[in-house]
Structure 1
Amino acid sequence: MTNSASTGFTRRGLLGLFAATAVVAAPTYSNAFGLLRGAGDIRRIRMYSGRTGESIDTIYWIEGKYIKEVVKEINYFMRDWRTDDTMSMDLRTIDIMAASHRILDVSEPYMLLSGYRSPKTNAMLRSRSRGVAKKSLHMVGQAADLRLKSRSVGQMARAAEACASGGVGRYSGSNFVHMDCGPVRHWGG
């Protein structure tokens, strides 16, 4: 048996991998599979923002349906805190975040560093750092930068990569992981 402290994975988290991967990799199939109906399937997201002092801990999907009012709350929570602009976040990104969190088997909420970014904010950040993409998926609501105190960048990235559903960037120097619903790829160290 592998020590979960060294890998960041627990047996329960790994057992949930198959379900989480199926849910994230093809969220549109969840309604098609009759065996999932009535199975009590839920998706939950837990985050806080050190920038705004806000937190969110909510179930946003139940048995094949996103909860519209809750999704609006998530969109507001993930807004560009510098401009207060909001965007409808791509739910595939939220699903990747939730599945990764579930794989890691932690109760600690994510610290959200960046969700939606307005073009103005993205341009400002690009002028200060080479690591900010000109056509960042943050600007279209398809990316999030996240941190967990109890897990390393490597552990978080491996959990997100296990979902095989989008981009995963490791930013070890800044202690965060980028997750997005774009093409499957990974970078950083």
Structure 2
Amino acid sequence: MNSVVTRRNLLKLGLIAGTSLIAPRLFAQAHTNTQEIFITNLHTGETDRVLFYDQGYYLADGLDRLAWLLRDHRRNEVGGMDPKLYHLLFSLQQRYGQQKPIQIISGYRSQATNQWLQKNSDGVAKVSQHTFGQAVDFRIPKVDTQELFDVCCSYRQGGVGRYLSSRFVHIDTAGVRHWG
């Protein structure tokens, strides 16, 4: 009986050791690239190509620039944005081509702006992920909204909303769900 337990333990240790040698390498390969996104804020007219991630590190200047581009344009207020959003936007831009800027409709929203939008618009959540810096509403020129929605849903990285009449998609880094 002890020899069986010992063999099982050895097999488990071998499997764990083998996985621990392979997994970091795979993770490192997947995350040591250079990531840059090309965006335009439709409300401010600002357009920029921003390098935010390089060889496994976030670049403070890039993160700051993106936070500024995704600010609450109504109050000119910058909020901290979840970098996972940038990775999602980067993936989408890679899929559809770097020559097409991602058009930002809404990024960070202050509580005051969100409350105002709730009173004056339809479909604005009382507790919006935008107010936590965890959501972006966007479109990519010449990409069908339904197709963009389907692709975002396939990533299974957070919430995805489809707004066909306004031609934009919402993504956030909260729980996986979809609507619209």
Q: TM-score range by the shorter chain?
A: 0.7 to 0.9
Shift in Å, 1:128: 1.7
Alignment check: 8 A CA contact 2:35 2:90 kept: yes
Find runs of 4+ consecutive structure 1 residues off by over 3 angstroms.
34-40
Aligned partner of 1:187 in structure 2 is 179
In structure 1, how many angstroms separate the alpha carbons of the residues matched to 2:24 and 2:46? 36
Shift in Å, 1:32: 3.4
Alignment check: 8 A CA contact 2:159 2:177 kept: yes
Identity %: 30
Q: Deviations over 1:36-86 (max 9, x none)?
A: 459961212111012111012122111211111110111111100000111
Alignment check: 8 A CA contact 1:99 1:163 kept: no
Aligned partner of 1:7 in structure 2 is none
Which one of the candidate residues 58, 66, 79 is aligned to 1:66? 58
1:46 aligns with 2:38: yes
Q: Secondary structure at the match of 1:59?
A: strand
CA RMSD of aligned residues (A): 2.0
In structure 2, how many angstroms separate the alpha carbons of the residues matched to 1:176 and 1:35? 32
Q: Which has the larger radius of gyration?
A: 2
Query: What are the residue-to-residue correspondences of 1:1-189 with 2, within 5 Å?
Result: 32-33=24-25, 36=28, 41-105=33-97, 107-188=99-180
Unpaired runs of at least 5, structure 1: 1-30
Shift in Å, 1:164: 1.2
Alpha-carbon distance change, 159 to 38 in structure 1, aligned in 2, over 3 angstroms:
closer
Q: Which has the higher contact order (CA 8 A, sep 6+)?
A: 1
* TM-score scaled by length of structure 1: 0.77
Alignment check: 8 A CA contact 1:41 1:63 kept: yes
Q: Secondary structure at the match of 1:122?
A: helix
Alignment check: 8 A CA contact 1:37 1:64 kept: no
Shift in Å, 1:156: 1.2
Moved more, 118-127 or 32-41: 32-41
* TM-score scaled by length of structure 2: 0.81
Moved more, 111-120 or 38-47: 38-47
Alignment check: 8 A CA contact 1:169 1:177 kept: yes
Alignment check: 8 A CA contact 1:38 1:63 kept: no
Aligned residues: 158
